[in-house]
Structure 1
Amino acid sequence: MTDTEMTRKHPEKQFWDELEDVHAVMLGLLCNRDHMQPMAPFADPENGKVWFFSRKSNDLVTECGAECTAHFTFVADHNNYYASAKGRLRRSGNVDKVEEYWSPVVAAWYEHGKDDPDIALMELTLEDAAMWSTTGNALKFGWEIAKANIRDEKQPDLGERNRVVFTRAA
């Protein structure tokens, strides 16, 4: 099944599959005016959550308070898939998730390992997402642009767009 077919027929599955393959997303808060920042996501599709390790001093941690709406975007490594999602972000004390997602990459950021007093585990419960996919085919792109320029009423068909509302969101 092509990326565009997956976007049309199985957008939620595709979203999680693509998210699990990216190394960083751009994460920000809707409750402040700060810029989004790169963060490493840990996908938890069974629970409709994305987890992030951060430092207690990071503005994402200090600004979100108990809980606020956050949003993130990413582009898949193959550059034919784009997504934007939002949900409720809160600081979590879930030590099981720290254990589950701990790795040498995460450890590199914390001098005292899993017990580092500056670790802040962030839990994002997803509410909805929008996604776009393209074929990535240069010939199809050229053909669609040419058709659109010949026919005034036709815009180029360059891919699919879909939206998902996550049912597990609390």
Structure 2
Amino acid sequence: MSQDQLTAADAEKAFWEALETSNTGLLGLDQPGYHAQPMTAFREAETGTIWFFTRADTDLARDVAVGGVGGGGQSAMFHYGSKDQKVWACIHGDLSVHGPDRQIIDRYWNPVLAAWYLGGKDDPHLTILRFDGDDGRVWVSDGGLLKFGFEIVKANIARTRPAVGGVADVSLQ
């Protein structure tokens, strides 16, 4: 697949599908000197919203809260790589503190989340961040490790570039 063959729609679809099965990425504010941190993403299919559970006393939650709970948020970036390394993405959007929403907590609660909150679903430190992506770039590889290796060898012999996938800019609005 060449870059010309990957449409924005196909790239966006590949991103959302990959995020369903492999949902960990790096989330951080889009500010100089700010470092992204590993976070588990929970996508709400109906709206495209991505939810992140965190403790209200973390640096990220406090920094995002500058925009106000339930109000405008902060410019943020979500960096993603699927476990199979076939989909990579850098998504820009708005990150805001949503607060402890029981409906969202009940929908996505699992044993991994429970390990971080000693008070369970009612832990006073539990809060939820809302990420609304607006645009990004998605890379999609159309083959596995064997195809990648073949393309690298072929490119070195033929003095061409390897055909390992495509890239497309996406608009998530």
TM-score (norm. length: structure 2): 0.83
TM superposition shift of 1:7: 4.4
Q: Distance in 2 between matches of 1:5 and 1:95?
A: 44
Maintained 8 Å contact 1:68/1:90: yes
Secondary structure of 2:53's match? strand
Is residue 2:150 matched to residue 1:139? Answer: yes
Gaps of 5+ in 1: none
1:63 equivalent in structure 2: 63
Gaps of 5+ in 2: 68-72
Out of 63, 83, 90, the residue aligned to residue 84 of structure 1 is 90
TM superposition shift of 1:45: 2.9
1:44 equivalent in structure 2: 44
The residue type equivalent to 1:36 in the other structure is A
Q: Distance in 2 between matches of 1:57 and 1:119?
A: 9
What root-mean-square deviation, in Å, do the aligned CA atoms of Structure 1 and Structure 2 show?
Answer: 2.2
Maintained 8 Å contact 2:54/2:126: yes
Q: Distance in 1 between matches of 2:96 and 2:132?
A: 9
Cα deviation digits, residues 74-116 of structure 1 (max 9, x gap): 2111112211111100011332111111111111100111111
TM superposition shift of 1:166: 1.1
Is residue 2:112 matched to residue 1:101? Answer: no
Report the count of equivalent residues. 160
The residue type equivalent to 1:31 in the other structure is Q
2:137 equivalent in structure 1: 130
99 and 34 in structure 1: CA distance in 2 versus 1, 3 angstrom threshold? same
Maintained 8 Å contact 1:144/1:158: no
1:163 equivalent in structure 2: 169
42 and 7 in structure 1: CA distance in 2 versus 1, 3 angstrom threshold? farther
- Select between 137-146 and 97-106 the one with higher mean Cα deviation: 137-146
TM-score (norm. length: structure 1): 0.84
Maintained 8 Å contact 1:7/1:14: no
Identity of aligned residues (%): 29
